Amino acid sequence: YGVDKYDIGEGFGHFGIANEDVYKLAENIKSKGGNITREPGPVKGGSTVIAFAKDPDGYQFALIQTAETPEPLCQVMLRVAVHAHIMIYCLWSYRPFGMKLFRKKDVPNYKYTIAKLGYIDEDTTTVLELIYNYGVTKYSKGNAYAQVAIGTNDVYKSAEAVDLATKELGGKILRQPGPLPGINTKITSFVDPDGWKVSNEPVDHGTLDHDHSYSDNWTWNSGSWLTTLTSSRSSSEDRTPRYYTECFGMKLLRKRDVPDEKYTNAFLGFGPEDTNFALELTYNYGVDKYDIGEGFGHFAIANEDVYKLAENIKSKGGKITREPGPVKGGSTVIAFAQDPDGFLFELIQRAETPEPLCQVMLRVGDLDRSIKFYEKALGMKLLRKKDVPDYKYTIAMLGYADEDKTTVLELTYNYGRTEYTKGNAYAQVAIGTNDVYKSAEAVDLATKELGGKILRQPGPLPGINTKIASFVDPDGWKVVSRPSMLCC
């Protein structure tokens, strides 16, 4: 009461409103006595029509012409004071809240860089737009813009993630999580590395649990998944690779013999290693048998005609352990094949896909813990989760894109089972990253919270410049992070 003026400051930029006809909207604003500070028209160097309006208190609103959207109030723009904060803030924002970096654009002609972050696509939800203006290291914040509030399913867990992020990247907890005086609503608040205030508030929505990820979305590159499994031979080391090429239609991508270490590698897949998932088969001289164990489930191959694929496998002497047919209670056609070393392959009938080698299935003892680990440590998304009480198991699919476009990790929990033998046949999954060191930091935080262990600190392999790190997840499954071929 009684305050008639506020200072907006230099750091706050604008809000954004999406509208199907910005020209009409601007005219309406002017007809009501509103202030249009930039007339409607295409952006410089582009075709998107925008305008700017100023409200009675001086707040700027970008009016953006776009098709109908479920969230017209589509942007909050804040300026950050240090160039590095564009990426630091992406990391920092992602870790507490699970935001995604949608895009980053440098505009040298106008001396600024922007980054857009959020939870879904830019055209379906509100996004945070961060702007760095070349050479500007400090902005006044005034006293008008207060904060942004982000919904969470668990204020306490969110605060834990925020606390870890502030210790590593800057910022400060302002209010520890707890109920507001006189009411039961629990909140927490803090400032980011640039001093912008954020509050966490409860939501009733089960899908908005974006509150605790340590992994930065840009670090992990899904295009360079590489699974390694240890294989063997009986009469010929070429037997298993030949099975994969003849029965499954894979290509032998390369082969490497290392006589000093007494092993041979064969790399197989449906496309080049720099764009596709690949299997690495390792033959250790003189070893003719391995134990697959109980924990490893299967690999999966997508194919347009599983009936025909199964017939081809049988014609080459391969073993089909489950004949083609619809899954129980559904319509998807599947089959199962077993390779010469006992590894199972699920064959899934699916329209043409860019990645036929589409799944790795592992069994875990605590599904929720494993989901959190792969989300936080590796930046994976939970694509779907399904409980099958009739058969007493639950599955979760995780990955970096939709199931029909990339390889996914399938985690299976069998009711009441907390441990599995792992044998010595399946070795590891390897995931490409743009920065092995930053990836290892995220993994380290996740292992401290959820379990698992760093096996090899990030660094170059002896004698070569390739940098890797390795660790085991809470169930003991080994993962290697290495530079992505897509970004080398």
List the pLDDT tens digit at each of the 488 positions of the chain: 888 888 999 999 999 999 999 999 999 999 999 999 999 999 877 789 999 999 999 999 999 999 878 889 999 999 887 544 444 444 444 445 567 777 888 888 889 888 888 877 777 789 999 998 998 888 898 988 888 888 887 888 888 888 887 887 788 999 999 888 877 788 999 998 888 998 888 764 333 333 344 443 334 433 334 455 444 332 346 778 899 999 999 999 988 888 988 888 888 999 887 778 889 888 888 888 889 999 999 999 999 999 999 999 999 999 999 999 999 878 999 999 999 989 999 999 998 888 999 999 999 999 999 999 999 999 899 999 999 999 999 999 999 888 888 899 999 999 999 999 999 999 899 888 878 888 899 999 999 999 999 999 999 887 777 889 999 999 999 999 887 643 22
- Please indicate, yes or no, whether residues 322 and 434 belong to a single structural domain of this protein: yes
Known binding residues = 280, 298, 346
- Please indicate, yes or no, whether residues 418 and 344 belong to a single structural domain of this protein: yes
- 106 part of a folded domain: no
- Please indicate, yes or no, whether residues 470 and 382 belong to a single structural domain of this protein: yes
- Please indicate, yes or no, whether residues 161 and 287 belong to a single structural domain of this protein: no
Helix (H) or strand (E) holding 314: helix 306-315
By C-alpha distance, which of 87, 101, 105, 3 is closest to 48? 105
The contacts of residue 130 (CB under 8 Å, 6+ apart) are: 77, 78, 79, 80, 85, 86, 89, 90, 114, 115, 116, 117
In angstroms, the Cα distances linking 232 to 205, 357, 422 are: 50, 21, 17
Q: What is the predicted pLDDT for the residue at 15?
A: 95
- How far is 375 from 225, CA to CA, in rounded Å? 16
Sign of CA dihedral 310, 313, 315, 320: negative
Q: Which of 122, 237, 346, 410 is catalytic?
A: 346
Per the structure, the count of domains in the chain is 2
- Please indicate, yes or no, whether residues 162 and 298 belong to a single structural domain of this protein: no
- 98 part of a folded domain: no
- 426 part of a folded domain: yes
DSSP 3-state of 280: strand
Tokens representing 29 are 């604003």
Taking the C-alpha atoms of 244, 250, 255 and 258 in order, what is their torsion angle to the nearest 10 degrees? -40
Range of the domain at 153: 147-206
- 77 part of a folded domain: no
- How far is 282 from 260, CA to CA, in rounded Å? 15
Q: What is the predicted pLDDT for the residue at 283?
A: 87
By C-alpha distance, which of 346, 340, 376, 377 is closest to 360? 346
Q: What is the predicted pLDDT for the residue at 96?
A: 53
CB distance 280 to 273 below 8 Å: no
- Please indicate, yes or no, whether residues 184 and 258 belong to a single structural domain of this protein: no
- 125 part of a folded domain: no
DSSP string, 385-449: EEEEGGGTEEEEEEESS-TTTS-EEEEEEETT-------SSEEEEEEEES-HHHHHHHHHHHHHH
Taking the C-alpha atoms of 229, 234, 237 and 242 in order, what is their torsion angle to the nearest 10 degrees? -80
pTM for this model (two decimals): 0.58
In angstroms, the Cα distances linking 233 to 206, 296, 376, 405, 427 are: 49, 20, 38, 33, 16
- 69 part of a folded domain: no
Residue 355 annotated among the catalytic residues of the structure: no
- Please indicate, yes or no, whether residues 201 and 233 belong to a single structural domain of this protein: no
- How far is 324 from 315, CA to CA, in rounded Å? 15
- 422 part of a folded domain: yes
CATH number at residue 450: 3.10.180.10
Q: What is the predicted pLDDT for the residue at 153?
A: 76
Give the count of beta carbons closer than 10 Å to the beta carbon of residue 87: 17
- 58 part of a folded domain: no
Rounded (5°) CA angle 68-69-74: 130
- Please indicate, yes or no, whether residues 324 and 370 belong to a single structural domain of this protein: yes
Q: What is the predicted pLDDT for the residue at 216?
A: 39
- Please indicate, yes or no, whether residues 202 and 269 belong to a single structural domain of this protein: no
Known binding residues for Zn(2+) = 280, 298, 346
